[in-house]
Amino acid sequence: MSDARIRHEDMARAARRAVAAALAVALFGVFVLWRADNPRLERLRMAAAEWLRPSLEWTATPARFVSDMIADYQRFTRVYAQNAELRREIQRLRAWREAARQLEQENARLRALNNVRLAPAAGFATGEIIADGGGPFLQTALVNVGARDGVRDGAAVMDGSGLVGRVTGVGRHVARVLFVTDHSSRVPVTLLPSGRRAIMAGDASAAPLLAHVENPDHPVAGERIVTSGAGGVFPPDLPVGLAVIGPRGKPRALLSADMKRLEFVRVLRYEPDTRIDAPGGLILRPAPSGAPPAAGEDAPDGGAGGAGPNPAPGAGAATGMDSGTDSGAGR
């Protein structure tokens, strides 16, 4: 019994080996058939493909259906996750919208109460950066707008998110822009909501240094940075970025502008009207009511009844003496 089992196992093993060898030979033959470059083999390949095409289509249809089902399910799960995320985003935006409406209404009421006169809005000219002079020691660029477009020296330059730099040279058709990251750039800024002043100094890094910060012991990380308008070069309240703490514990400005992919910029036309045309006059203290007139001024008229001015001192005595003389002469 055991010998028959052993012979049966040996035959099964030999049959498996024969099948594996035949399959290997068939696969090698198919490989040679499909890779050989021969016109006869090409015709044979095409005939085999035509013969197998109906069966391949019949087997490919269920496989395509299953793959489409899997792809549709994956897309459905992605759409469901995106829908849930959009719902949460809409809820957050609705809260921000209500807060913005309340702030806008409150701001309008305060302006109406205070009779605030706002500064005129600054115009701008949009231009394209046509040359980049970036380097380790000089970070500038050329913009294809100039004096013909109303650009002036010192004008602020922004992209769609925040401050980029200022104009340092103007031609008729082009202007040179000095980036805020350049070593020679200095921008007076304000940290909000604390209201502290600082100077943003470029040092050729992506995050310029915040120098001369008021009350430096107070933390500045997370505060919003805007231009202060000090000096009259930059308009006030231009967005700059966020305050962060650098590697060595120094405050720096994380710029809102994408300095690495600048393509189009806006050059602001800002001219604050701060001229005083006339000198100031003398400030005189008004005289208090009921005070005696100053020397050299006319005395006021007499009391009620339209009486004339008071007689000079001694006039009454002289009149009496004349009357007495006349009466004595008559006697």
Task: Write the DSSP assignment of 85-124 as a string of letters.
Answer: HHHHHHHHHHHHHHHHHHHHHHHHHHHHHHT--PPPPPEE
Residue 34 has pLDDT above 70, yes or no: no
Query: Does 295 reside within a domain?
Result: no
Taking residues 140-163, what's their average pLDDT?
90
Dist. CA 101–CA 96, nearest whole Å: 9
Dist. CA 267–CA 124, nearest whole Å: 5
Cα-based distances in Å from 215 to 193, 195, 197, 200, 211? 14, 11, 9, 16, 11
Please tell me which residue, 58 or 236, carries the higher pLDDT value.
236
Q: Please choose, from the candidates 183, 204, 217, 200, the residue with its C-alpha nearest in 3D space to the C-alpha of residue 252.
A: 200
Tell me what pLDDT residue 319 has. 41
Instruction: Write out the two tokens for 86.
Output: 């959009």
Q: Please choose, from the candidates 102, 205, 225, 210, the residue with its C-alpha nearest in 3D space to the C-alpha of residue 161.
A: 225
Please tell me which residue, 107 or 273, carries the higher pLDDT value.
107
Give the pLDDT band (50/70/90) at residue 1: low
Angle, helices 2-35/39-114, rounded to nearest 10 degrees: 80
Number of structural domains found in the chain: 1
Taking residues 42-67, what's their average pLDDT?
74
The lowest-confidence range among 7-11, 66-70, 128-132 is: 7-11
Which range is most confident: 13-22, 125-134, 272-281, 307-316? 13-22
Cα-based distances in Å from 259 to 77, 116, 165, 266, 313? 37, 36, 10, 14, 92
Query: Does 254 reside within a domain?
Result: yes
Cα-based distances in Å from 216 to 186, 212, 219, 229, 322? 19, 8, 7, 21, 93
Query: Does 302 reside within a domain?
Result: no
Which range is most confident: 4-8, 31-35, 313-317? 4-8
Query: Does 326 reside within a domain?
Result: no
Residue that the structure tokens 């020679």 belong to: 184
Q: Is 197 exposed, middle or buried (0-12, 13-18, 19+ CB in 10 A)?
A: middle
Q: Where are the alpha helices (DSSP H) in 36-182?
A: 39-114
Residue 135 has pLDDT above 70, yes or no: no
Q: What is the pLDDT of residues 220-240, one digit of tens each?
A: 888 999 999 888 888 888 999
Contact 181, 258 (CB under 8 A): no
Instruction: Write out the two tokens for 272.
Output: 């604050």
Dist. CA 235–CA 120, nearest whole Å: 11
The identity of residue 179, as a single letter, is: F
Q: Please choose, from the candidates 126, 262, 245, the residue with its C-alpha nearest in 3D space to the C-alpha of residue 181.
A: 262
Give the pLDDT band (50/70/90) at residue 94: confident
Residue that the structure tokens 């730099």 belong to: 165
Share of the chain above pLDDT 90, in %: 23
Q: Indicate whether this model's pTM tops 0.95.
A: no
Query: Does 191 reside within a domain?
Result: yes
CATH of residue 130's domain is: 2.40.10.340
Query: Does 192 reside within a domain?
Result: yes
The identity of residue 204, as a single letter, is: A
Give the pLDDT band (50/70/90) at residue 87: confident
E strand or H helix that includes residue 253: strand 251-255
Query: Does 195 reside within a domain?
Result: yes
Residue 313 has pLDDT above 50, yes or no: no
Q: Could you tell me the residue range of the domain that residue 250 belongs to? A: 123-269
Tell me what pLDDT residue 133 has. 65
Please tell me which residue, 173 or 122, carries the higher pLDDT value.
173
Tell me what pLDDT residue 327 has. 41
Dist. CA 118–CA 111, nearest whole Å: 9
Residue 80 has pLDDT above 50, yes or no: yes
Q: What is the pLDDT of residues 263-309, one digit of tens each?
A: 889 999 887 666 666 676 667 777 676 656 555 545 444 444 444 44
Query: Does 89 reside within a domain?
Result: no
Tell me what pLDDT residue 312 has. 43
Residue 14 has pLDDT above 70, yes or no: yes
Tell me what pLDDT residue 30 has. 74
Dist. CA 8–CA 11, nearest whole Å: 5
Mean pLDDT over all residues of the chain? 78
